[in-house]
Amino acid sequence: MIKRIWHGWTTLENAEAYKKLLKAEIFKGIEEKNIPGYKSIELLVKEHEEEVEFITVMTFDSLQNVISFQGDDYQRCYVPDAAKKVLKRWDETSDHFDVEEYRQYS
């Protein structure tokens, strides 16, 4: 299993607009691509004094599934034009980690 992790930041004023865009359009658009091996996406949010940090964590079965999503330059970030309008800054690349162990408790 692979975790694809990316960071972006907005101003305090643009945070709600970005959340809406992620949930209503971007995440939905990713799901509609029906990417083989795509399992989930998580959204982490942290408000700082002057900006809001967003982290997305996507889960795929394999690195090949990430390549199916993003292409051969799979580390390149995926930031649609609509998101660029409300983001203050963002990571140009995503990090990819092998999941060594996963435990879930009820």
Residues 96 and 26: their CA atoms lie apart, in Å, by: 20
Question: Is there a domain that residue 78 lies in?
Answer: yes
Average pLDDT across the chain, whole number: 95
pLDDT band at 78 (very low <50, low <70, confident <90, very high): confident
Assess whether pLDDT exceeds 90 at residue 106: no
Q: What is the pLDDT of residue 84?
A: 95
Q: At 59, which CATH number?
A: 3.30.70.100
pLDDT at 88: 97
Say if 76 falls within a structural domain. Answer: yes
49-80 exposure pattern, b = at least 16 Cβ within 10 A, e = fewer: eebbebebebbbeeeebbebbbeeebeeebee
Give the structural domain span for 42: 2-98
Q: Does residue 67 have a pLDDT over 90?
A: yes
Tens-digit pLDDT profile for residues 24-61:
999 999 999 999 999 999 999 999 999 999 999 999 99
